[in-house]
Amino acid sequence: MKKAYIGIDVGSISTKGVIIDDANNILVGEYIWTEGDPIGAVKRLLSLMEPRFDKENYKIVATGTTGSARRLIGTITGATVVKNEITAHAIGTTAFYPEVRTILEIGGQDSKIILVENGVAVDYAMNTLCAAGTGAFLSSQARRLGIEVEEIGDYAAKSEHPVQIAARCTVFAESDLVHKIQTGHSKEDIIAGVCRAIVENYLNNVGKGKRIVSPVVFQGGVSKNSGVVRAFEDVLGCDVIVDPNGHLMGAIGAAILARSNEKRADFSFEVEHAEFKVREANCGKCPNNCEILCVYKDGKLIDAWGNRCDNGAISVG
């Protein structure tokens, strides 16, 4: 039986999963909304992936998790590798584009830039406060303009005179957009302006002080928007590569990391049928007063973390 590896990337907005083989071929890939419930999202994700996975010929022998909920999901899935999203995105991208020098990533509520030299991530930055350069901002402005977010690229392509939208922050951008609507600018020109504003906000905040060198790979959910891709190319003055599976790259990187790690543990889709509970416990045994996160599977404690000293250590098993 051939070996396979599963990678799961759980973010605040979306949850992604892939199963790859030894040659990095994607056997199954899935993308769903997290909806504020990372455990529930992973269960739904696995329920969609399981029927499409060839259990007759493949066996999943290692699991990797990444994203903001990586520790939690790593616990419930028995992950052999738990890595931050910077590492996962860099590993996934360089596996397919070994010459890449700059990775641009824009998701639903966060964005990041990763600089690569000789296949190794050497610098990075993430957005901290402003959401004007993220997918959430793009979606909210599409609703304001009465169009589907999937239509933004087509509208932007028809623009002849893109308007200038203030890109300093979400509040300024939205206020400026409303003003442009009220002064009679066409929807096409406004949308093209929004795409440009997202790019400028990203470069002025996430990319501030970073030297962006080609080849450039753009990924994350917003990379599917052709209007934003064109705006990046116009501003950067170079081609921007968008991989068809760019929205899954974090999960791909997690799966590759699991494959590369020596540790092995068979993965079971039965996870989707188990009951998980997460509870917090205050230690109170020293001035740290740590909040310990305890994870239970079918009533049994399977992991606990958050203690900053041995006073808060909790036995598992």
Task: Assign 10 a pLDDT band (cuts: 50, 70, 90).
Answer: very high
Measured distance CA(74)–CA(272) in Å, rounded: 14
pLDDT at 159: 81
Mean pLDDT score across all residues of the chain: 88
* CATH match for 107-242 among 3.30.420.40, 3.40.50.261, 3.30.70.1170, 3.40.50.970: 3.30.420.40
DSSP string, 140-163: HHHHHTTS-GGGHHHHHHT-SSPP
pLDDT above 90 for 133: no
Domain ranges of the chain: 2-92+251-273, 107-242, 276-312
pLDDT above 60 for 304: yes
Q: What is the pLDDT of residues 252-284, one digit of tens each?
A: 999 999 999 999 999 999 999 999 999 988 887
Task: Assign 86 a pLDDT band (cuts: 50, 70, 90).
Answer: very high
* Range list of β-strands (E), the chain: 2-10, 14-20, 26-33, 58-66, 81-82, 102-106, 111-117, 120-126, 216-219, 240-241, 276-282, 291-297, 300-305
Beta-carbon contacts of 222 under 8 Å, excluding residues fewer than 6 positions away, are: 106, 107, 134, 135, 138, 198, 228
Q: What is the pLDDT of residues 162-210, one digit of tens each?
A: 888 765 666 666 777 777 777 777 888 888 888 888 888 888 888 889 9
Question: Quick one: which of 95, 102, 45, 38 has its CA closest to 72?
Answer: 38
For 79, the token pair is 């992950």
pLDDT at 23: 96
Contact status, residue 283 vs residue 32, Cβ threshold 8 Å: no
Question: Quick one: which of 51, 78, 46 has its CA closest to 62?
Answer: 78
**Fold agreement between 2-92+251-273 and 107-242:** yes
pLDDT above 80 for 250: yes
* Higher-scoring residue by pLDDT: 289, 1: 1
Contact status, residue 227 vs residue 241, Cβ threshold 8 Å: no
Instruction: Tell me the mean pLDDT in the region 147-174.
Output: 75
Instruction: Tell me the mean pLDDT in the region 282-305.
Output: 87
* Higher-scoring residue by pLDDT: 171, 73: 73
Task: Assign 132 a pLDDT band (cuts: 50, 70, 90).
Answer: low
The CATH number of 2-92+251-273 is 3.30.420.40
Contacts of 121-129 with CB under 8 Å at 24 or more apart are 121/86, 121/87, 121/90, 123/210, 124/86, 125/206, 125/207, 125/208, 125/210, 126/86, 126/206, 127/202, 127/205, 127/206
pLDDT at 1: 92
Measured distance CA(301)–CA(279) in Å, rounded: 10
Instruction: Report which residue type is found at 205.
Output: N
pLDDT at 170: 62
Q: What is the pLDDT of residues 15-46, one digit of tens each?
A: 999 999 999 999 999 999 998 899 999 999 99
pLDDT at 317: 61
The CA-atom distances, in angstroms, between 191 and each of 40, 138, 140, 229 are: 35, 9, 12, 13
List phi, psi (to 5°) of 109. Answer: -125, -5
Task: Assign 13 a pLDDT band (cuts: 50, 70, 90).
Answer: confident
pLDDT at 15: 94
